A and B are shown apart, each in its own frame.
Chain A
Amino acid sequence: MTATIATTPSPAPESTLEGHGQPLIDKTFRWILFAATAVGIVFLAVLIVYVTLKGLPRLTPALWQNMPSIRNPDTAGAQSAITGTIWVMAFTALTALPVGILSAVYLEEFGNAKSRFQRVVDINIQNLAAVPSVVFGILGLAIIARAFQLGQTVITAGLTLGLLVLPVVIISTRESLRAVPQNIRHGSLALGATQWQTTWKQTMPAAIPGMATGTILALSRAIGEAAPLLLLGAVSFISFNPTGPFSAYTTMPIQIFNWTKDPREEFQILAAALIVLLLVLLLAMNAVAILIRNRTQRRW
Chain B
Amino acid sequence: MKQMRDSEAAKQSSSDMSTTGRMDVAASLGSHGREIPETISNVVFGLDNVQVFYGDFQAVRDVSMQIGRNEITAFIGPSGCGKSTLLRSFNRMNDLIPGARVAGSLTYHGYDVYAPNVDPIEVRRRIGMVFQKPNVFPKSIYENVAYGPKVNKMKVNMDDLVEECLTRAALWDEVKDDLKKSAYALSGGQQQRLVIARCIAVKPDVILMDEPCASLDPIATAKVEDLMQELANDYTIVIVTHNMQQAARVSDRTAFFTADVDSAGVRHGRLVEYGPTRSIFTAPNDPRTEDYISGRFG
Contact = CB atoms under 8 A, between A and B. Distances in A.
A186 interface: yes
B93 A188 contact: no
Given A183-B135, A184-B137, A187-B131, A192 B152 contact: yes
A186 B147 contact: no
Nearest to A194: B121
Nearest to A202: B137
A190 B152 CA distance: 12
B147 A191 contact: yes
Interface stretch (B13-21, B107-115, B194-202, B269-277): B194-202
B223 interface: no
B251 interface: no
Interface size class of B (residues with CB under 8 A): 20 to 34
B241 to A, nearest CB: 19
Interface string A251-287: 0000000000000000000000000000000000000
Given A192-B124, A192-B202, A202-B137, A186 B131 contact: yes
Given A192-B148, A201-B147, A298-B138, A187 B121 contact: no
A107 B202 CA distance: 30
B101 to A, nearest CB: 15
Contacts of A299: 184
A189 B129 CA distance: 10
B151 interface: yes
Interface in B119-147: 121-122, 124-126, 128-129, 131, 133, 135-138, 147
B129 A190 contact: yes
Contacts of B148: 191-193
B121 A188 contact: no
Chain A interface, >50% SS class = helix
A191 B96 contact: no
B91 interface: yes
A188 B150 CA distance: 11
A197 B151 contact: yes
Interface size class of A (residues with CB under 8 A): 20 to 34
Given A187-B131, A197-B151, A192 B121 contact: yes
B137 A187 contact: yes
B98 interface: yes
A193 B129 CA distance: 13
B147 A188 contact: yes
B93 A183 contact: no
Given A197-B151, A201-B147, A299-B184, A190 B124 contact: yes
A141 interface: no
Interface in B204-256: none
Contacts of A187: 131, 135-137, 195, 198
Given A183-B131, A188-B151, A191-B147, 10 more contacts: A112-B98, A181-B135, A187-B195, A188-B147, A189-B93, A190-B128, A191-B202, A202-B137, A205-B138, A299-B184
6 contacts: A181-B135, A183-B135, A190-B91, A191-B148, A194-B121, A197-B151
Interface of B: 91, 93, 96, 98, 121-122, 124-126, 128-129, 131, 133, 135-138, 147-148, 151-152, 184, 195, 198-199, 202
Interface of A: 112, 114, 181, 183-194, 197, 201-202, 205-206, 298-299
Closest 3 CB pairs of A and B: A192-B125, A191-B148, A183-B135
